[in-house]
Amino acid sequence: MTLKIAANLTMMFNEHEFMDRFSAAARCGFKGVEYLFPYDYPAEAIREQLDANGLKQVLFDFPAGDWAAGDRGIAVQPNRVGGFQDGVGLAVEYAETLGCERLTCLAGIPDDGTDSEVAEQTMIRNLQFAADAAARIGATVLVEPLNTRDVPGTHVSKSAHGAQLVQAADRKNVRLQFDVYHTQIMEGDIATKFSKLLPIIGHVQIADNPGRHEPGSGEINYPFVLDHIENSGYDGWIGAEYMPAGDTESGLGWFKQYL
């Protein structure tokens, strides 16, 4: 089995304007792409880039609030449920046009004074709403724990909590997004965690630590980790969600064996 690795166009190929990153990724051998958000561009224009370059749209995120102002998702904020639901509608429209089967739900940071249980129940209800909307186009909603060093105060930071939310949502199309970088920072024990969570994992992302650079640039033994993922029987996509230490193409030595 050959691993299916997608380029994250939010972080990779930043030498190019966003709409030119699709062709750059395809030239380097990628067959799939993901990114955080497509909403600044018409869905039809993105679809043209996908089709022209023979690429699969693997994943993107629901609208996550005002990113520049520090929002990292709004799913745990009770006073923004309406905005969350509107964002789900927009994301599903884009996903249908782009043929995208995975949508990530970032929990976000609870407002000051919000009770943690209120935030938790808000997240669960929002996941259920999102899952029901995504089911209409055959898409899966993913819960992604983020590390608290990069996102202080994030409501979901551990894989066990992510798994609890998947179970609490009680929808067949809600699964866990397993990000090796975030898991390494918060928990370590990558291989054991991955094996335990495999039945509910719907997507994997990779980057090394420290620095969130290319696999092989830091402390994570990526030859072992990727072999472990491959041998586990996981047949989904793996998103290369890292910030190249230099120009993107020069740092792709790790990827060439998977072409």
Report, as residue numbers or ranges, the catalytic residues: 144, 241
Half-sphere exposure of 52 (CA within 13 A, CB side): 13
Q: Are 5 and 229 within 8 A, CB to CB?
A: no
Q: What are phi and psi of 135, to 5 degrees?
A: -60, -25
Neighbours of 108 (CB within 10 A): 28
Q: Do the beta carbons of residue 74 and residue 65 sit within 8 Å?
A: yes
3-state helix, strand, coil in the chain (%, to 5): 45, 15, 40
DSSP per residue over 159-181, as a string? HHHHHHHHHHHT-TTEEEEEEHH
Beta strand 102-105 with 140-143 is: parallel
Cis previous bond, 210, omega within 30: yes
